[in-house]
Amino acid sequence: DLVMPGLAEGQLLTGQSTAEGIANFYLEKGVSQVVVKLGSQGAFVASKEGFATISGFEVETVVDTVGAGDGFAVGVISALLEGMSLSEAARRGNAIGARVVQFPGDCDGLPNRIELDEYVRRGSLSSGVVFV
């Protein structure tokens, strides 16, 4: 139902060179939703309804990138389980991934619900969402 490769991983697995190409590869194979992780640039999401680029959160200081992908996945999956759209889920994933890189270790930056809501409220996105 859901595939979440990073850009480099998706390129290796699919032979496609772009996030859109990677997403289309999986959609054509019957996957319902695809989220291509773009690191600090955010994420590219796609489903049969369309696609969107979800910008990443700006981070002043990166302390440790270990755990950022896991944090991103936690954000996406938890948001989808709560009934959020794929774009909203990727935004939450971006927020958690951005927060995690500001702490040492793989889980020190994982927020509780109050911390997540506060971070999203205060956090700034580098640019908006484009849904086509």
Active centre residues (catalytic): 70
With CA atoms as reference, report the closest residue to 126 among 57, 45, 60: 57
Token duo for residue 22: 């990677």
- C-alpha to C-alpha distance for 23 and 101, rounded to whole angstroms: 26
Paired residues of 125 in beta bridges: 57
Token duo for residue 90: 């990727």
First to last CA, the chain: 21
SS3 33: strand
